[in-house]
Each structure stands twice: as structure tokens, then as C-alpha cells.
Structure 1
Amino acid sequence: MSLVAGRGLGGAGAPGVPAGACPQTLAALVADGDVVVLSGAGLSTESGIPDYRGESGRRRRAEPMTYQTFVGSAAARRRYWARSHLGWRHIARAEPNAGHRAVAELQRRGLVTGIITQNVDGLHQAAGARDVIELHGSLDRVVCLGCGERTPRRLLQERLEQANPGWDARADAVGPDGDAALSEEQIAGFRIVDCRRCGGVLKPDVIFFGENVPPARVQECYALTERAATLLVLGSSLTVMSGHRFVRHAARHAIPVAIINRGPTRGDDLALVKWDAPLGAALSALVVAC
């Protein structure tokens, strides 16, 4: 495990934590309690779900769907739902890993008081975590853009299977959003379905690229961050502002930021502690230390 110290909270040039002391410093912060977790796709890679920007993400060839493309093109919706219908089988089979279980255990002990996740896989809850704020929504729900009705994803899966008897496409790769790589020929014969209530367009209850997180959800995350004694970032490169803003918010309120991630993150210069390590092993060790 590679240990890297941040620059501290005292501004540019402030002394950081000696590299060898990072695990101990992190354990001390977590043991004090009132920790808010901000998790990203890197936490789920050990469950077999690839991330966006790590090594598994670089192997993906497809660009993620944007909100504007989805609502503006019936062909794009067919492409999305064909790929997602197949990819959901992979996401639904995924199980929590040691990192998810460690977060749930720290919450059970009362040390973690809030969880904000950028992930849409539901693995925090599957590991036993409670009151998780799903910043970007969840793939296990579907929303109608016409009437707003939300329904379980399993019901849509059943309807799509009924609408596509004999469709037996296979995919070589599945993304963190359940997007499976398919050929245009495989997609062309796929039939999509609309809302049973109003006939409107169905969309996964997740935030697409180009779509805004609901303001009330963002404010809830800001308020949770302000009440934290420590903001613990797990498995996120913080490349997009959606998650990075909470690290900046914590720093503005002099709340220590600790990061466990493989590789650099956009928030490293704001972190009191940065631990470059596999998430499952690091978080399991943290539970033991606390």
C-alpha cells in the first residue's frame, strides 16, 4: 500500500501528515466519530463493477448516455434500454464487498453518521447501511418522464423480456452504470416499452451526464457535510464537481477531509490524509483499528 500525505487544512504550505502515519491518523479521525462518508465507483470495483476513470474504466469504449440525447432521440432510448436491459443482470448479481461491509459496520458502531454515495448500484444498502443519500439515484428504480411514477426496475425487466422473446444478445463488458457493450445489429431488433399509466417515456431513476442533481438533495448533502467532524472520501477521483463540491465545502468549514483511493484525486490538495490503497483491505483494517 502506498501512503501519501496531504498538505493539511491550514492553507498552502501547511505541514501534512507524515506518510507512514496516514493509517493511524485516519483511524484517530474515524474513532472520534461524526464521520460522513462520500463514496464513488472505486468502492464497488471489488464487487465486479468497473469504475469510470480507473483501469477498468479505461478499458470501456462506449461513451455514457447524456440526458439530452436520451430525451431527444427514440433511437438513443432503444440503444440505452437494450444495453441496460442486458447490463442490469450483471449489476443485480453484484454483492457488497469488504469495503461496503466495513462502512456499514462503522455506521452500526455510531462512528459513521452519514453516507453520501455517487454510486447507483445499491451495494451500501445491501451491506446493511441505512439512510444512504443516493446522490445520483439508483438503477433499481425507473421513473416516467410524463407522470413521474416510480416503479421497481425488476418490473421493467419483466416487461422488456416479454416484449423481446428470443432476444439473446451477449456482452463482453458492462459499465458502472449497467451499460453493456452491444453491436448495432443486436440493438436494432430490441423493442422498448412505455409507462403503463400514461404512455410516457421511461428513464432509469439516475442522474445522467448533462442532468442536474435535484437542488434539495444537494442541500441535504451540504447540511450533512457541515455537521461532520470528518469527511471521508472512498473510491472517488472527484473529477466531476458533483462530488468534489462537498470536499470543497468541508474545507471551507475547516472540516478535515480524509481520502482513500487508488491513484490521485482532484481533492488531494484539500485532504489532511490521503491513503492510496485497495478499498476493501484499507477499510477492513480501519474497522479493526477503531
Structure 2
Amino acid sequence: MEASDANAPEGPVTSAGLAGLVGMLERRDAVVLSGAGLSTESGIPDYRGATGLRRTGTPMTYQEFTGGEAARRRYWARSHTGWPLFARARPNAGHRAVELLRRSGHVGAVITQNVDGLHHAAGTRETVELHGGLDRVVCLDCRRTSSRSELDRRLEELNRGFRRPGAVLRPDGDAQLPQEQVDGFRVAPCADCGGVLKPDVVFFGENVPADRVERCYELVDAAGSLVVLGSSLTVLSGLRFVRRAARARLPVAIVNQGPTRGDDLAALRLDLPLGPALTEAARLLGAG
């Protein structure tokens, strides 16, 4: 399938430039698949930028995290530093527009690759969090789930004075730290069993739970269209739903600043800032 307007930025958001997206949403019951690009206007950096290539640093893998205490210390030291900045992020115009479109029936369901909880904060409580959420932690031994805020208080008590002003937030919710700071960090065990705590997110090298993937397939299969917002679709966890929709001849729209791995499968491709574009689309559809 050849996408329209796939290769060049669309420029300013205009009603005419959004005609294809509005026409697709008018059919109602679209499924939204959102990625990191939707949250950049909330101050959370994305992974790859406009080129689809940028990524500073190597993300923690599941195998690395579970394989040694030093890796877990590095993860939690950086995550503890970045958490206040991450936790302060608030839904932006794009998240709010998605919720307006959901309430009006133009969007039937939301699947997000993001772990920031901003769809929930905007009121879209039914969002399927494909990769989990950073607001929760899970014990790998007893499987108890608890709040990240609770863990933050415990880490602060164990590491008083550890945080320094001027930390720069990274896409995974952590911050870069020199190794000498990491070495002295104290990690909190599970409050119930003393086991290993992990953020309740899917790490690289870890599989998305099968029942969660199946739920997303069901949503896509029942949809009138699939609208991708702010995802480069570089990883298979999101791309598979675009491929599923394309095989079923379901219309696919991709709104993303920069190229994506799914561009050749899209019926419509727009390179636009998401907040203004979605707000205008919601207005045109009378969803405001």
C-alpha cells in the first residue's frame, strides 16, 4: 500500500492538511496506537527524534537487570534521579484531544507503547499499556505490585542527599549519572519478602505478556481504522499491529515527525506536530 504524503513534512497544521485524517476518523471506532512522540510536548524526550535514528545511551535489558546487582544499582540510581522530573509530566494537547475523540466515539480504543501514564491522566482509563507503567514496581520473587511513589520514599530514606539539581531526563524516565555516584547507591528490596524489585515495564529483551498482545489484536481486529501517533515503529511490539491491520485491509494512518518502519503500509502519512494536529482534528470533528 502506498501512503499519501509519506516523504515530506506537511508544514503548518491546516484543515486542508488534516482532511485525510479527519475523513478516516469520521468512520468512527478507530484504534489509536501511540508512541513516545506523543509525549514530547509534555517534556518527556522521545527515543529517536525526527530522523528515527537518535538514541543516546544503551537501554537496560531484562537479562542485564536480572543478571547482577551492579546493573540493578545502576538502573535504580539513574531512575531515582530522573523520577521527580518524570512524575511531574502532565498530559499535553495531544493526549487531551485523543480523549475528546474517544468520548465522541471517533476513537474506540487506545493502545500505548508509552510507560508515562499520560493517557490515563488525561482521562483515558481504558488505555492498554503495552509496555506497562513506570508508576508501578513489581517484585520478581513474590510478584507483589506496589506504587513507584512508595518506592521513591524508601529510596530517598536510604540515599539522603543523593539527588542533585540539573538532572537531564531521558526517554526511559531515568537520568545520566557518573559511575562514582552510581557505586554508592543503595537499592531497596521488596518490603514484603526482601526480593528484587523491578519497574512494572517491559524491558528490552523481555516479551510483552501474551494476553496483553492478544487483547491488542482483538482491538485492532474490531476497529474501523488504525491511527499511529508519534511512533517510529522501530520495535516489533508496535509494528506488528500495523502489519495486522494492513493484512486485514484496515486503513492505517501514521502521524509522526520523521520516518517510520510502517510507512509503506499506511494509507495516509502525515508529518505534523501532534498536539496542534490532533486538537484541530478534534475541532473539525466536533469532538471539543
Match of residue 206, structure 2, among 208, 211, 220: 211
Cα deviation code 1:205-259 (max 9, x no counterpart): 0000000000000000011000010100000000110100000000111110001
Q: 1:97 aligns with which of 83, 88, 92?
A: 92
RMSD of Structure 2 on Structure 1 (CA): 1.9
1:61 Cα deviation after fit: 3.2
Contact 2:138 2:144 in 1 (8 A): yes
1:63 match: 58
Q: 1:200 is matched with which residue?
A: 195
What amino acid is aligned across from residue 37 of structure 1 in structure 2? V
**Matched residue type, 2:192:** R
1:49 aligned partner: 44
The answer to whether structure 1 residue 281 and structure 2 residue 276 are counterparts is: yes
Structure 1 portions without partners, runs of 5+: 1-5, 9-15
The structure 1 residue matched to 2:164, chosen from 165, 169, 180, is: 169
1:106-185 residue pairs with structure 2 within 5 A?
106-170=101-165, 172-185=167-180
- TM-score normalised by L of structure 2: 0.92
Q: Secondary structure at the match of 2:18?
A: helix
1:265-280 → structure 2 map (5 Å cutoff):
265-280=260-275
Q: Distance in 2 between matches of 1:254 and 1:64?
A: 35
Structure 1 residues 214 and 171: CA distance shift in structure 2, 3 A = farther
The alignment partner of 2:128 has SS state of strand
1:224 partnered with 2:219:
yes
Pairwise CA distance, 1:55: 5.3
Give aligned pairs, total: 278
Aligned partners of 1:37, 1:112: CA distance in 2, in Å? 7
Unmatched 5+ stretches in structure 2: 11-15
Q: TM-score, normalised by structure 1?
A: 0.91
Structure 1 CA distance for aligned equivalents of residues 59 and 84 of structure 2:
18
CA contact (8 A) 1:42 1:235 kept: yes
Instruction: Determine which of 232, 239, 255 is the counterpart of 1:237.
Output: 232
Deviations 1:105-143 (A, max 9, x none): 101111111000000000011111120000000000000
**Cα separation, 2, equivalents of 1:228 and 1:26:** 15
